[in-house]
A and B are shown apart, each in its own frame.
Chain A
Amino acid sequence: MKRLLVALILSVLLIGCTASQGGAPAASNKLQLKGSDTELQMFAALAEEFKKTNADVDITVTGGGSGTGIAALINGEIDIADSSRPMKPEEIEKAKVNGIEPVEFIIARDGLAVIVHPDNPVGELTRAQVADIYTGKITNWKDVGGNDDAITLYGRQSTSGTYVYFRDTVLKADYASTMRNMEGTSAIVDAVQADKTGIGYVGIGYLTPEVKALTLEGQNPTDKAAVASGAYVLTRPLFQYTKGVPAKNGPTHKLMLFQLSAPGQKVVESTGFLQVTSADAAANEKQLARIG
């Protein structure tokens, strides 16, 4: 019986190995990406597309939040950190102390939508109102023109770049402690879609018909032009930080070129984000020039 079990295990392993021959290169080209959950879908999709023309590069993508990726980069554990917020000066310092220079690239643009349940009569808020809601100063929907219901706050966890970006840009203070820290963006969407009194913040790539995106300062995030031009207040760049200047023609260099190319940016769009602006592209060119 033991022999049966051993045989079973070995055969599954063998099947597994042969079945994915196309995807199991004897490559020494391995790239590890880690970080933003917001960008996880996008980078996984980009990695998949990239693989079609670069079968010898092995890419693994893990989520956990921008903070996770940045910490891993500082710890020297990964090649590229995906981050939906810029690295803080202290973090860059820590990396340098460890002998790592984070090199910043902008891969996409994102809008951050504030969402509520579709049945919520409130359709528009000012930036100040959103801040007051999330810091706990406003606790009832009736104070912003809605029903007499207590507001249920949904947000990300402190590992999330989105959490940090939203706090540092909109609140400029700590979140109310009653905010439920959801595991990931889709958890926020699920929660708000089921909760008539809920409010949440998510990247526009995660918007579904089951939730309503609020208009902020006269602009709605579903208006792609408004987000692309920056007219919508909550637009932000999405970053990747590489472990030092990428080696010329190395896997990181190739991946970066692909991601910033036209086909790559098309993949970016297909996952719900926006292409980089010309200003972003210029900044990227400067970094790429360092590769020589």
Chain B
Amino acid sequence: MSDTLSEKAYLTLVALSAVSALGILLAVILFLFAFGGSALSADFIFNNWNHQHIEQAGVLQAIVGTLALAVGVFAVSVPIGVASAIYLTEYARSTWSVRLIRLAIRNLAGVPSIVYGLFGLALFVQLLALGTSLLAAILTLSAMTLPWIISAGEESLKTVPLAYRQGALALGATPWQTIRHIVLPQSLSGMMTGAILGVSRAIGETAPLILVGATFFMNGLPTGPLDKFMALPYHTFILATQHADPHAKSYAAATAIVLIGLVLMVNGVIFYYRYKIRKKTLGEIR
């Protein structure tokens, strides 16, 4: 009798712990709205930052800056990452080089974001004299996102059955032709969803931006890659810790809501897309 009771108790404990994860997620969102909901409005999203009259201020520049980062990071890290993934799954023969590259990727994924910041500062800002600019930030964040893109790419490439490749090769196709006409088209959507997820993580980063570039106040929008820019995570950080206005904290929460909204939107779209794909392929197999 006590066995079933303690059995139930243990199982409930396990279940509760798991559900706590859901609870945490909801709590975070609720708290953000509690603190920042009042500051949210259409104006907030579409106005430029107004320093003297914070009630009229908006985070448009930060949104544009963050989107510019997203596009830039995508443009830099995806071609390189996909090409690396292709190399690892389609071309690499020597286990030595494959192991070295995989080791590098694993380690890169674990490097703290502040260390990436130091790297970006030393290489892009100083050595390559790009200064603290949009480009320096894009390159630094791309280095951070690279391991993620490569892993997602590899996973996606592996879903293409070996038989497809062998069939193509048997018919006389070269490795490149096989990749180009058979493997890539099949795995592209998987790679793109992985890439978009990776980029959505990159745009949430703050620490590297402290070192390589975002700014808190500017008059307009960046007009070129060597310009200063504003970004949502950095803006949230400064509002939370340094702005003097009594409403600053609620504005920080509102900015955080915009940022997390952007990230969740991207994740949601990807998730839905993957769900549909899964249903489709499962349906096909049957």
- Do A and B touch each other in the complex, judged by CB within 8 A? yes
Using a CB–CB cutoff of 8 Å, the interface residues on chain A facing chain B are 1-2, 5, 9, 12-13, 15-17, 19-20, 23-26, 32, 37, 40-41, 44-45, 47-48, 51, 58-63, 75, 77, 182-187, 189, 205-206, 208, 270-271
Chain B residue with the shortest CB-CB distance to A23 = B220
User: Does A5 contact B46, Cβ atoms closer than 8 Å?
Assistant: no
Bound complex: CA A211 to CA B218 (Å): 31
Given known pairs A24-B221, A24-B223, the reply for A9 and B71 (CB within 8 Å) is: yes
Bound complex: CA A116 to CA B277 (Å): 61
B150 to chain A, nearest CB (A): 20
Given known pairs A19-B46, A20-B221, the reply for A206 and B244 (CB within 8 Å) is: yes
Assess whether B152 is interfacial by the CB under 8 Å rule.
no
Bound complex: CA A61 to CA B215 (Å): 7
User: Does A20 contact B242, Cβ atoms closer than 8 Å?
Assistant: no
Assess whether B269 is interfacial by the CB under 8 Å rule.
yes
Bound complex: CA A47 to CA B48 (Å): 14
Given known pairs A48-B51, A183-B242, A206-B244, the reply for A61 and B192 (CB within 8 Å) is: no
| 0 or 1 for each of B38-73: is its CB under 8 Å from A? (1 = yes) | 000000001010111000000011011001101100
Given known pairs A13-B64, A26-B223, A62-B215, the reply for A77 and B243 (CB within 8 Å) is: no
User: Does B269 contact A5, Cβ atoms closer than 8 Å?
Assistant: yes
Which one of A37, A77, A186 contacts B248 once the chains associate, using CB atoms below 8 Å?
A186
Q: Which residues of B have CB within 8 Å of A58? A: 218-220
User: Does B70 contact A40, Cβ atoms closer than 8 Å?
Assistant: no
Given known pairs A185-B244, A187-B242, A206-B244, the reply for A62 and B217 (CB within 8 Å) is: yes
Bound complex: CA A19 to CA B242 (Å): 28
Q: Which residues of A have CB within 8 Å of B4? A: none
Which one of A12, A47, A206 contacts B217 once the chains associate, using CB atoms below 8 Å?
A47
Which one of A1, A26, A32, A186 contacts B273 once the chains associate, using CB atoms below 8 Å?
A1
Given known pairs A5-B196, A59-B218, the reply for A12 and B242 (CB within 8 Å) is: no
Assess whether B283 is interfacial by the CB under 8 Å rule.
no
Given known pairs A16-B221, A60-B228, A63-B216, the reply for A48 and B52 (CB within 8 Å) is: yes
User: Does A41 contact B216, Cβ atoms closer than 8 Å?
Assistant: no
Bound complex: CA A2 to CA B192 (Å): 9
Chain A residue with the shortest CB-CB distance to B70 = A9
Chain B residue with the shortest CB-CB distance to A15 = B46
Q: Considering residues A51, A58, A185, A187, which has the most beta carbons from chain B within 10 angstroms of its beta carbon?
A: A58
Bound complex: CA A45 to CA B64 (Å): 22
Q: Which residues of B have CB within 8 Å of A75? A: 126
User: Does A47 contact B242, Cβ atoms closer than 8 Å?
Assistant: no
B195 to chain A, nearest CB (A): 11
Assess whether B2 is interfacial by the CB under 8 Å rule.
no
Between-chain CB contacts (< 8 Å), 7 pairs: A37-B242, A48-B50, A60-B219, A61-B216, A184-B243, A185-B244, A187-B242
Q: Which residues of A have CB within 8 Å of B223? A: 24, 26
Kindly list 12 other residue pairs between chains A and B, CB separation below 8 angstroms, not including A5-B269, A45-B52, A63-B242.
A5-B196, A23-B219, A23-B220, A24-B221, A40-B242, A44-B51, A47-B51, A60-B218, A60-B228, A61-B218, A182-B241, A186-B244
Bound complex: CA A115 to CA B50 (Å): 29
Q: Which residues of A have CB within 8 Å of B172? A: none
Bound complex: CA A5 to CA B273 (Å): 12
Q: Which residues of A have CB within 8 Å of B221? A: 16-17, 20, 23-24
Q: Which residues of A have CB within 8 Å of B70? A: 9
Q: Which residues of A have CB within 8 Å of B110? A: none
Chain A residue with the shortest CB-CB distance to B192 = A2
B95 to chain A, nearest CB (A): 35
Q: Which 10 A-B pairs have the closest CB atoms?
A: A184-B242, A24-B220, A183-B241, A23-B220, A16-B64, A44-B51, A60-B218, A61-B217, A60-B228, A44-B217
Bound complex: CA A53 to CA B67 (Å): 30
B20 to chain A, nearest CB (A): 28
Assess whether B250 is interfacial by the CB under 8 Å rule.
no
Q: Which residues of B have CB within 8 Å of A32? A: 228
User: Does A25 contact B220, Cβ atoms closer than 8 Å?
Assistant: yes
Q: Considering residues B63, B64, B220, B243, which has the most beta carbons from chain A within 10 angstroms of its beta carbon?
A: B220
User: Does B67 contact A13, Cβ atoms closer than 8 Å?
Assistant: yes
User: Does B217 contact A16, Cβ atoms closer than 8 Å?
Assistant: no
B51 to chain A, nearest CB (A): 4
Assess whether B142 is interfacial by the CB under 8 Å rule.
no
Assess whether B161 is interfacial by the CB under 8 Å rule.
no
Which residues 199-243 of B have a CB within 8 angstroms of A? 215-221, 223, 228, 238, 241-243
Q: Which residues of B have CB within 8 Å of A61? A: 215-218
Q: Which residues of B have CB within 8 Å of A41? A: 51, 243-244
Q: Which residues of B have CB within 8 Å of A270? A: 52
Which one of B131, B196, B219, B228 contacts A47 once the chains associate, using CB atoms below 8 Å?
B219
Q: Which residues of B have CB within 8 Å of A47? A: 51, 217, 219
Which one of B46, B64, B246 contacts A208 once the chains associate, using CB atoms below 8 Å?
B246
Which one of A12, A20, A45, A189 contacts B220 once the chains associate, using CB atoms below 8 Å?
A20
Assess whether B132 is interfacial by the CB under 8 Å rule.
yes
User: Does B51 contact A45, Cβ atoms closer than 8 Å?
Assistant: yes
Given known pairs A1-B273, A9-B67, A187-B242, the reply for A77 and B131 (CB within 8 Å) is: yes
